[in-house]
Amino acid sequence: MEAQPQRRRGHHGHVALIALAAALSAAALRAALLLDDPWAHGYDGWYYVLQVRALLDGAPLFADRSLVFAPLTALAALTGDAILGNKLAAIGFAAITAAAGAVAGWRWSGSRTAAAAAGMWWALSPLHLSLTAEFLKNSAGMAVLALLLAALPRCERHRRTLAVVMGLALLGPLVHKLTGVLGLLAAGGYATAQVTRGHTIPRWLWITAGVGVAAVMAAGLLRPADLARLLGSDGGTTTRIAAFWSRRLIFPERIALVAIHLAPLAVAVLAWRPRHRPLALTLLPLSIAALGPGLSFGWDGLAWRLMLMGFVAAGIAYSVIAPRVTAAIVVVVGVGQAPVLVSALQARSPDYVAWATAIPVIQGTIPAGDRVIAHRGLCGFVWAEADIICENFQPPTPHERWWRIAYGFGPHRFEPYVQDGEPAPVSARPGYTIVWEPHWQQFLDAEGETFLLARDPRNPFRVRPTFVYGPGEETPSVER
């Protein structure tokens, strides 16, 4: 009779080691990606740098109330560098997510092999790595969602865990709205499973959950306007098939996309097993949401961001159904592709190392007080490192106080439009020219239809959405 508790403790010890291995693997992969240079990674990385630096100076730059900025600001203060602090936070968020994935795999299945498969899947997923690298709120929200999924299976036998689950479900939207909604859907799926199994959910739980969700919505953290904005930001009209074969993706990413598109079928398999039906109902909304049904695809849009989060449902579903097969695939593909994936993601980010040499040119060309237009990523870099306010939208009129870092056009293209006394175009780097915005507009009117690059996303042409600025405000004021 004494051996059972010892065996249980042994199982817990093994799972703890598995979770630690998953966390360390996630951290090592992200360290290799993020710590190779002193600059922020990707397009959105600079948004967090700007906000954290402003918070350290005493006031936020953007009206973004996400709780993620508390640890980001603390790490920036501790390291003395907002960029490094943000990178360490990204590594930490991913490590927490992978460790929680291992625990979730074990608690939902009772299998240590499933724990290893799920934890390592989440640690090495190319989609999770892309998400972690630059979308820090999203990454922190995934950590909260992972902890929620790890805690849910204990609710049935440990009622006190309900308070933890409820806290995590309500914490999610405070960190990241979209991920928070997924957490609420997962908790709702689990509650539905319990009701369909004839289990009684305490009235106090329903009341508390309802009040909590209402409070979150009343605080403006979840609003119908947010959904409308996300659905309206499709980021492009690329078809999913075309995106799948795009040279932007490498082979491991294509495998991951196939896996998440088949995940609803794996969830259906789970639903046929009475023991796993609560898990199936918990994962069902997550697996469907990851496909972005009804959403047009674009690399900057909601559909792609949902796909990046598809590793959650897919990892647990496959690990519970076939843990040994899943673990073998993760080891062979995940570990084998890691160096290639890191190299590909580093190349995909704008070359900020090269752009750092152009800062003196940018500062010397654009007069103090004027603003600049540049494509995503480069825009944040210029704002953060050259201290010039930047947008990646078509600027409002008049254009005289605006400049543009145009992609794909040399200075000679704009020289015919320069009159005496007007600023001449200047080469910033090979392939990029700093041009006075009135000259760019004249070029568009005269020759824009001739060049496809004039309407390329790297030459911003969309009108600034109404949600970017508040009424009468001069700096961005809404959260991303």
> pLDDT of 404-434, one tens digit each?
999 999 999 999 999 999 999 999 999 999 9
Report the distance separating Cα 6 and Cα 366, nearest Å.
70
Rg (CA), the chain: 24
CB 283 within 8 A of CB 270: yes
The stretches of 110-200 forming alpha helices (DSSP H) are 112-124, 126-134, 136-151, 161-175, 177-196
> What's the token pair of residue 306?
């949902």
Report the distance separating Cα 151 and Cα 13, nearest Å.
18
Question: Dihedral sign, CA of 469, 86, 152, 302?
Answer: positive
| pTM over 0.85, yes/no | yes
User: Which residue, 397, 310, 302, 271, is CA-closest to 125?
Assistant: 310
Q: What is the pLDDT of residues 349-361, one digit of tens each?
A: 889 999 999 999 9
Report the distance separating Cα 102 and Cα 466, nearest Å.
42
Written as one string, the DSSP assignment of 12-49 is HHHHHHHHHHHHHHHHHHHHHHHTTSSS--TTTHHHHH
Q: DSSP letter for 418, please.
A: P
346-354: long-range contacts (C-beta < 8 A, 24 or more apart)? Answer: 346/33, 346/36, 348/42, 348/248, 349/41, 349/42, 349/43, 349/133, 349/134, 349/377, 350/43, 350/377, 350/378, 350/381, 352/37, 352/39, 352/40, 352/381, 353/37, 353/39, 354/429
CB 338 within 8 A of CB 356: no
Give the pLDDT score at 296.
Answer: 77
The residues with which 435 forms a beta bridge, in sequence order, are 404
Q: Edge-to-edge strand order for the sheet containing 432-436? A: 390-391, 371-373, 402-407, 432-436, 426-429
CB 98 within 8 A of CB 23: yes
User: What tens-digit pLDDT sequence spans the chain (480 residues)?
Assistant: 333 334 445 567 889 999 999 999 999 999 999 999 999 999 999 999 999 999 999 999 988 889 999 999 999 999 999 999 999 999 999 999 999 999 999 999 999 999 999 999 999 999 999 999 999 999 999 999 999 999 999 877 766 788 888 889 889 989 998 899 899 899 889 888 888 876 666 565 666 666 666 665 555 455 555 555 555 554 555 677 878 888 888 888 999 999 999 999 999 999 988 889 999 999 999 999 999 887 777 777 788 889 999 999 999 999 999 999 999 999 888 888 899 999 999 988 889 999 999 999 999 999 999 999 999 999 999 999 999 999 998 888 889 999 999 999 999 999 999 999 999 999 999 999 999 999 999 999 999 888 989 888 899 988 876 555 444 445 554 344
Cis peptide bond upstream of 416, omega within 30? no
Q: From residue 112, how far is each of 35, 56, 276, 304, 348 by CA, in Å?
A: 32, 44, 16, 32, 36
CB 121 within 8 A of CB 319: yes
Give the pLDDT score at 4.
Answer: 37
Give the pLDDT score at 455.
Answer: 85
Amino acid at 476: P
